[in-house]
Each structure stands twice: as C-alpha cells, then as structure tokens.
Amino acid sequence: MDELDEDQRYPMLHHSTAASILVAIVDGLVIQYFTNVYSVEDLQSLTQQLKKIILNALKTKV
C-alpha cells in the first residue's frame, strides 16, 4: 500500500488495516448492489461522491 501513496497524503493507507478497510467498503457496495439497494445506474451516479468519501476517509490520521 505504501507504493500507492509515496507522498503520504493518505495516512490510512499506511496503517496495518488499510487493505481490510478498503475491502470492507467495496464489499459493502457489492452487497448493496446484489441486495438491490443500488442499481448499476445508482452506483454510477454516486461514483464522484463515493470517491470523495473514500479519499477523505483515507486522509484520516490513525
């Protein structure tokens, strides 16, 4: 994960649980898709908002 953020802009990426946190976010979205909470179109329309949310979460200092 360190290679993804050489400038250290996203402290969460450097934490030991970084991969688990990212997988949990993606898993949650996949589950919501398969349980018909979101359609493909819904997720496409939310892409920019989800991107901002995920990047802000990764900026969290741990």
In the chain, domain spans: 2-58
Confidence category of residue 2, pLDDT binned at 50, 70, 90: confident
Biggest alpha carbon–alpha carbon distance for the chain: 38
Predicted TM-score of the model (pTM)? 0.76
Share of the chain above pLDDT 90, in %: 63
pLDDT digits (tens, 9 = 90+) for 24-38: 999 999 999 999 999
Describe the chain by its helix, strand, coil percentages, rounded to 5.
70, 0, 30
Q: What is the C-alpha to C-alpha distance for residues 3 and 28, in angstroms, rounded to an integer?
A: 25
